[in-house]
Amino acid sequence: MSYNNILVTKADGIATVTINRPEKLNALNKATIGELNDAFAALDADDSVRVVIVTGSGEKAFVAGADISEFANFSVAEGAELAAQGQELLFDFVENMKTPVIAAVNGFALGGGLELAMSCHFRIASDNAKMGLPEVSLGVIPGYGGTQRLPQLVGKGKAMEMIMTAGMISADEAKACGLVNHVVPQAELLDFCHGIAQKIMKNSPYAIGKAIVAVNANFRDGVNGFKTEIKSFGECFGSDDFKEGTTAFLEKRKASFTGK
């Protein structure tokens, strides 16, 4: 499948999705969100893809925000619909993929860009990265899950400060508050992400998918995360990966998982 705003490559079980609008600092517009949904859905359904890395083209930006020109004249109803559609098509979708998604934050991750990074299962930043949610400086609030995911990652107080000041934090500050897992030189970012992806790929895809479900359940209103864990744990016992993993352990050999 060909895309106008993103690039997708696959090699050795790892897919890389690159948001490719460098002239707009990779800003998210409706077309790009739609293409990302199509790409992520296809990759999640592809058993040969074990890990997805998402990044931005160029050296300046992961995603510098949403394309403001698209919604500057929206009504109240149109604004609410924009947020609802975006959350469903991309941000919630990525968070709930069974395939692990790593955000390789290679520069500015602002507004919708940071919200995309936060919807990924974890984040690695280049040392030149800057992150923030500047929406209140435009008279609006984060609408793609930022008011929910940022407090989950950095705590309520830090999230309130970041949102209210509309300021940016450095990669090192982001690591210190738990927003990113690692900070590496920009030239080493994708190689570092590939190294983590290769560690993930040694393990059961089926079990990883169930772990994602169980961890995410803790952040769902009205959902008992412990009960979800119990159910997901039990379901693993019916998988081919469980049989292979336990057999390989007892036979003192490396497991060969199929994801089923």
Is there a single domain that holds both residue 192 and residue 223?
Answer: no
DSSP symbols for 143-158: -SSHHHHHHHHH-HHH
pLDDT value of residue 33: 97
Residue 225, in any domain of the structure: yes
Is there a single domain that holds both residue 184 and residue 245?
Answer: no
Total number of domains in the chain: 2
Domain final residue pick, 158, 176, 200: 200
Q: In whole angstroms, give the CA distance from residue 107 to residue 21.
A: 14
Residue 259, in any domain of the structure: no
Is there a single domain that holds both residue 126 and residue 245?
Answer: no
Active site residues: 115, 135
Residue 258, in any domain of the structure: no
Is there a single domain that holds both residue 60 and residue 181?
Answer: yes
DSSP annotation of 14 reads: E
pLDDT value of residue 66: 87
Residue 52 near residue 15 (C-beta atoms within 8 A): yes
Residue 256, in any domain of the structure: no
Largest CA distance in the chain: 65
Q: Which domain holds residue 47?
A: 6-200
Q: For residue 184, what are its two tokens?
A: 């590496």
Is there a single domain that holds both residue 121 and residue 228?
Answer: no
pLDDT value of residue 1: 75
The strands making up 6-11's β-sheet, listed across from edge to edge, are 6-11, 14-19, 51-56, 101-105, 122-126, 182-184
Residue 97, in any domain of the structure: yes
Question: Which residue type, as a one-letter code, is found at position 121?
Answer: H
Is there a single domain that holds both residue 169 and residue 225?
Answer: no
pLDDT value of residue 197: 98
Burial zone of 71 (CB within 10 Å; 0-12 exposed, 13-18 middle, 19+ buried): middle
Residue 260, in any domain of the structure: no
pLDDT value of residue 68: 86
Is there a single domain that holds both residue 40 and residue 68?
Answer: yes
Residue 255, in any domain of the structure: no
pLDDT value of residue 101: 98
Is there a single domain that holds both residue 211 and residue 127?
Answer: no
Is there a single domain that holds both residue 161 and residue 183?
Answer: yes
pLDDT value of residue 126: 98
Number of alpha carbons in the 13 Å side-chain half-sphere of residue 69: 3
Residue 102, in any domain of the structure: yes
Phi/psi region, residue 255 (left: phi>0; alpha: psi -120 to 50; beta: rest), is beta
Assign residue 43 the CATH number of its domain: 3.90.226.10
Is there a single domain that holds both residue 80 and residue 192?
Answer: yes
Is there a single domain that holds both residue 135 and residue 30?
Answer: yes
> Which residues does the chain have with pLDDT short of 50?
none
Other Cβ atoms less than 10 A from the Cβ of 250: the count is 8
Number of alpha carbons in the 13 Å side-chain half-sphere of residue 60: 10
Cα-based distances in Å from 62 to 21, 89, 198, 252: 10, 19, 22, 43
Question: Which residue type, as a one-letter code, is found at position 250?
Answer: L
Q: In whole angstroms, give the CA distance from residue 41 to residue 199.
A: 23
DSSP annotation of 120 reads: S
What end-to-end distance do the CA atoms of the chain give, in Å?
26
Cα-based distances in Å from 4 to 10, 18, 28: 18, 11, 13
Domain final residue pick, 159, 183, 200: 200
Is there a single domain that holds both residue 170 and residue 139?
Answer: yes
For 161-201, the pLDDT digits (tens) are: 999 999 999 999 999 999 999 999 999 999 999 999 999 99
